[in-house]
Structures are given as structure tokens and as C-alpha cells.
Chain A
Amino acid sequence: MLCDQCKERDVAVLLTTIEDNAVRQLHLCEKCAAERGVETPTAMPKHPMGDFLQAVQEQSLVLQEDAVRCAFCSTSLREFRASGRLGCAHCYGAFERSLRELLRRVHGSARHVGSTYHPPSPASLQKRTTLLELRDRLRRAVETEQFELAASIRDQIRVIE
């Protein structure tokens, strides 16, 4: 097919324009397209060094990002990519950007719209944590035959309960 403008060279681009509210399509050769300010893939100047540098930069960004670690459990993004499993709840914050993209790909959305959770009050949790610790200490005291200590821990447990 020949260029609509010069009628000499082969068509390289299809240029769609809107002029006076009418859509107009032009089949143009590389030269005529360039004259109208349209860059064709073949006409674009090549910068092999530029491509190389860009690739290196992109790769180093990925590597830098992969080395990011969760401050709580020290799982790195690289480890996550390898295993598919996150180390702890804090990883969601540490890898937030990468995760958001991944979640969109996997689920088609990155936002929870299901039920909202209301955690138990901190006071009741504190009481339970203390009880767990005291029971642990009681067990150790009995195992090491420190019976006086055990009796005092048992009293503390009774008070809290």
C-alpha cells in the first residue's frame, strides 16, 4: 500500500486525526509521517547505550527493592518472592507497594470490602497476657521445686482471675 500523501513510498503508519469534528485516517510513509511530527518505530533514533543503562538502572531498582526487609520478622522481599509467603503481619506494611500490585493481579482488587474487625479491649488482653506469663512461671517454679515461689504465684493468679 502506498502513502496517501506522496503516493510513492510504502505505508509505515496509520495516523488518525480529528479535524473539524470529523475523524480522518491517513496512511503515511515514514518520511511524510515525520514531516507531520509523528515518530515511527523505525524512524526513532537508536541509543543502544541508553537502553543498556536503562536496563541496568531498572535491574538495580529491583535488586534494591528485593533487599528490603521487614523490621519485625526480617523477611526480605526476595524471600517472599521465592516462597510466596509473608513472614508476619508487618510485612504487609514493609512491602506495601509491591504487594498492592500483586494483590490487584491476583484478586482484581487491593482493597478489603468484607467485614470489619473490632479487636478485644487492651485491658482484657493485658490481663490474659499476664495470666499466661504467670502460669508459665508457676510451671517452672513447680518443675524446679521452688514451692514457696509457686504458692505466691498461684495467689497472684487467683487475684487476677
Chain B
Amino acid sequence: MLDLALLPDGGLSWLDASGESSNVVLSTRLRLARNVEGYAFAPRAREGERLRVLAQLCEVLPQVPSLAGAAVIQVDTLPADDRLLLHERHLVSKELAGLEQNQPVRPGAAVILATGASVMVNEEDHLRLQTLQSGCDVRAAQETISRLDRELGEKVPYSFHPEFGYLTACPTNVGTGLRASVLIHLPGLVLTKEIGRVLAGLQQMGLTYRGLYGEGSEVVGNFFQISNQTTLGRSEDELVEQLDRVVRHVVEREEEARRVLLRDAGYIIEDKLWRAYGTLRHARSLSFDETMNLLSGVRLAVGLKLIQGLSVYTLNKLLIYSQLAHLAHLEGRALTDSEANQVRATYVRRTLADEAGTAA
């Protein structure tokens, strides 16, 4: 079983709720898609080519300060539950973890994990440089990722075209190769039914939204991942600035919606949120989706200061640790769905009781 203690900061420092607007924005993620010159892109490459890409990267690793002390995890050698665990921590994509239907894990698939930055190797592109930060901090994330990109690009030759920019396997990523996204919690806009208009507005601004796990995932627990849709024709600074500006506007709209809810439907909202908290504190079986939706209510209650003494950090941790592979890891064995629902309820109950200083 994968020893999570080996990962720098457990790969979870982004959950600490230290960033700006962290009661609304859970995290900011920036990723750059890069390919190494001289090899076919990972899906087309032969196994030997992918292994050479990985070897080349490991070779230069000590000379890349942004990846100091990094752990190299060869994802293709891990059993399925460990790969799911890494995916649940948002450290590897579904594709790299080989969790997509009919797409087994690719030989040579690996992830290099350092504090605050990581590199997925042999995903759709040879390299996916990533940084994940707490709260809304697009600027800091851009600095981190640019530094890593500069350091790595000096050691490993990237595929670059003067007209098309950084070349990627999928033309939707070509150019800057940059995807900047924030994971944002918008229960106020959902409850006031304003969300449709906000999401339509995003699309007009060249932005798009997805669910909790990015591409192809559904929206659960009122979490939306907002990101730039295009990567070509605008500079990295422009893309990042626009996301930052729009997200700040969405945060204001969400805060306004929360004020309206409290003003116009105070006791109804209060009752609904306390019921969500009550269920989480006492239920004996909880499905993942139900947990996400109830946690969304409790997160809103904490944001509105209706529930005191419960930290956003604990709520963030619950989002991650109440997933299937994390519960199985906790129990040290594989779990059926119904077993997982019971273990999840126990875990959530104990965590909330600890935080409240009472017995579960």
C-alpha cells in the first residue's frame, strides 16, 4: 500500500484554507502542458520512448530547485486502489491513474511530487506541470508554475513552434499550454437560482466550468471548477488576469447571494443548514454524494457564521478523506459500497465531534 507519509506535505497543503477568499474558493490550480522534443507524444509513443522521457526527467531532477526533495512515484507500478487514492487527492488525473474506461494505466506513467508543485509524466502530454494553492491566489500560482517551467525548460528541450507555441497532443491545449482554474463553492448562487446566469456569463468571457475533478466530472456539493477555455491567441498574463478578475466578481456575487438568503429567508436557510450538520453528526450510513451535499450546507453555515468553532480546514479535509480509496486506506482493506457508506458516516461523525469537543 502507498505510504502517504512519503509525499511531501502529504500533497495536501492546499487544503489549509490559508488563501484569500478561502470560505468561497477552495483552491487555485495552474497547469502547463509541455512535450519533450524528439519523442512521439505519450499516447502514440512506444513504451521505450516514454521510459526515456521519465529517465531524462529523473536525471535533471536534482538541478531543478522547484522540485527539491520531490518524491517520484511510478504510477504504472501501483495497484488500482493506490492510483485512485492519488487521484482523490487531486495529485494525478484520471487518465494518468488509468481510471478511464478502456484505458489502462500507461507504462511509464509517473508523478513527481514536491511541496507546492508537481509534474505528471506521460499523461496525454509528456509533462504536465502543476501547482495547487489554497484559496484564490492566481498570481502566486502563476509565479510558482513559471519558475518551475523556466527551470525545467533549461534542462529538458520542449517542443515549441514559433507560430503555434508549445505543442501539445490535443490542439485545445496548444499555445501557452496553460489551464488556470479555481475550485469554487457557490451554494448561495445555486439556492437563489442565479447560477445559470453566472455560468452563461462565464462562457461569454471565454471561461468554462466543470465539476470537482475537472474534465468530464459532474458538479457535486455546489463545487464548480472555473477555468480558461482557450490557450492560444492570448498571453499567459492575459489568461490569468482574466480568470482572476472574473473569479473575484463571482465571489462578490456569491457573497451578495448569501446576504440576500439570510435577509429574505433567514430561518428557512438556518434550519436547512443545521439539519445538514445534524445529519452529518448523527447518521450511520452516508453515500459520497449525500456527504458532499450536506458538507456544502455546513460549509455555507460556517461562512455565514451560523456554526462557530468548525474550521474550513476540517471541512476541506472531510471532502478528501470521505472518498472511497481514502476510507479503504483508513481501514486497511477494500470496502464494498455499503461498507464504505458506514465507514464514511463514522469518520465524518468522529471528525466533527472532535472539532466540537464532544463525543461522537
Q: B-contacting residues of A (Cβ < 8 Å)?
A: 72-73, 75, 84-89, 92, 99, 102-103, 106-115, 117, 119-120, 125, 128, 131-132
Contact = CB atoms under 8 A, between A and B. Distances in A.
Given A85-B124, A89-B159, A103 B154 contact: no
B167 A92 contact: yes
Contacts of A113: 233-235
A102 B174 CA distance: 12
Secondary structure class of chain B's binding surface, majority of residues: loop
Contacts of A106: 171-172, 230, 232
Interface string B154-194: 11111111111111011110111010000000000000000
Interface stretch (B36-44, B82-90, B129-137): B36-44
Interface residues of B, number: 44
Contacts of A112: 161-166, 174-176, 232-233
B10 interface: no
Nearest to B234: A113
A132 B56 contact: yes
22 contacts: A86-B41, A89-B37, A89-B161, A92-B167, A103-B174, A103-B232, A108-B206, A108-B230, A109-B233, A111-B163, A112-B162, A112-B164, A112-B165, A113-B235, A114-B176, A115-B235, A117-B158, A119-B153, A120-B153, A120-B155, A128-B60, A132-B59
A39 B294 CA distance: 67
Interface of B: 35, 37, 39-41, 43-44, 52, 55-56, 59-60, 124, 153-167, 169-172, 174-176, 178, 206, 230-236
A75 B55 CA distance: 25
A107 B59 contact: no
A84 B168 CA distance: 11
Secondary structure class of chain A's binding surface, majority of residues: loop
Contacts of A109: 230, 232-234
A39 to B, nearest CB: 39
A84 B158 CA distance: 21
B233 A107 contact: yes
Contacts of A103: 164, 171, 174, 232
A9 to B, nearest CB: 46
Nearest 6 pairs of A and B residues by beta carbon: A109-B233, A112-B165, A89-B159, A107-B232, A87-B44, A114-B176
